[in-house]
Amino acid sequence: MPHTAVLLVDDQPLFIKGLSSLINGLPSYTVIGEARDCVEAMALLSSKKPVLAVTELDIGNKEGLDLIKDMKSYDPGIVVLVLSKHDERYYAERALRAGARGYIMKSQPETMVVSAIKTVMAGKVYLSDAERERLFEYMTGEPLKEGDDWFSSIRKLSDRQFQIFTLIAHGFGTIEIADRLNLSPKTIDTHKEYLKLRLHCTSSRELKQLAIGWIRSPPP
């Protein structure tokens, strides 16, 4: 049986080596490339023609969601599984919209990672049971559980707005965000004004404090 060629994308050397060992130990799977950033990932996608890409969302200076879109644009048939440190509540749906087939958090045991790989390679979508329930509630209009108002507000942000909110949380200012996203400072300020309105902040300082508090300890 031919082996499934796998590309790994993660900027943590020890983690990517451990993941590579895990996948190479599976029957019919072979890691054909390990990328530390988006440039390496696209180069390996072009030269090695992987069937499956397992990627983190924090990789170098580029947004991981954009990498998923780039990979799917270059090779619509590639299967993408996100294996990330980021909370699935805020990223899983966005990753699926970008073109990923599944999302699993790094806090999950190896057996679940293997299950996620086999699920997406079988042509199915992989999400945790909790995330499937949240998506069902969101799509069907079922009442959100107590404490989920914040979650609902974050979820309604566009990918670009969410990206800027996350960068604010990491301490980046308008000029730095504009440089990283190749946008004008004026455009970033416009997005910030929308974020303040959407998240009920009266000032840029309050927005920054909210973002920092969220990324350090997201509401349950």
Structure tokens at 48: 């090695």
Element containing residue 33 per DSSP (H, E): strand 29-35
pLDDT at 83: 97
pLDDT at 209: 85
- Inter-residue long-range contacts of 94-98, CB under 8 Å, 24+ positions, other chains counted: 94/65, 94/159, 94/162, 95/57, 95/65, 95/68, 96/125, 97/159, 98/65, 98/66, 98/68, 98/69, 98/72, 98/159
The HSE-up count of residue 111 (CA atoms within 13 Å, CB side) is 0
- Tell me the C-alpha distance between 68 and 57, whole Å: 9
Residue 84's φ and ψ, nearest 5 degrees, are -135, 160
Where are the extended beta strands (E) located within 39-164? 52-55, 58-59, 62-63, 79-84, 102-105
- Tell me the C-alpha distance between 99 and 46, whole Å: 18
For residues 195 and 157, is the Cβ–Cβ distance under 8 A?
Answer: yes
For residues 137 and 152, is the Cβ–Cβ distance under 8 A?
Answer: no
Q: How far apart are the first and last CA of the chain?
A: 45
Q: What is the pTM of this model?
A: 0.74
Q: What is the mean pLDDT of each run of 10 residues along the chain (220 residues)?
A: 89 94 96 94 96 90 84 97 89 90 95 96 91 70 52 78 88 91 91 85 85 66
DSSP bridge partners of 102: 81, 126
Burial per residue of 139-158, b for 16 or more beta-carbon CB atoms within 10 angstroms, e otherwise: eeeeeeeeebeebeebbebe
Q: CA separation (Å) from 86 to 57, 82, 110, 218? A: 8, 10, 17, 11
Q: How many residues does the chain have?
A: 220
Cα angle for residues 23, 28, 34 (degrees, 5° grid): 40
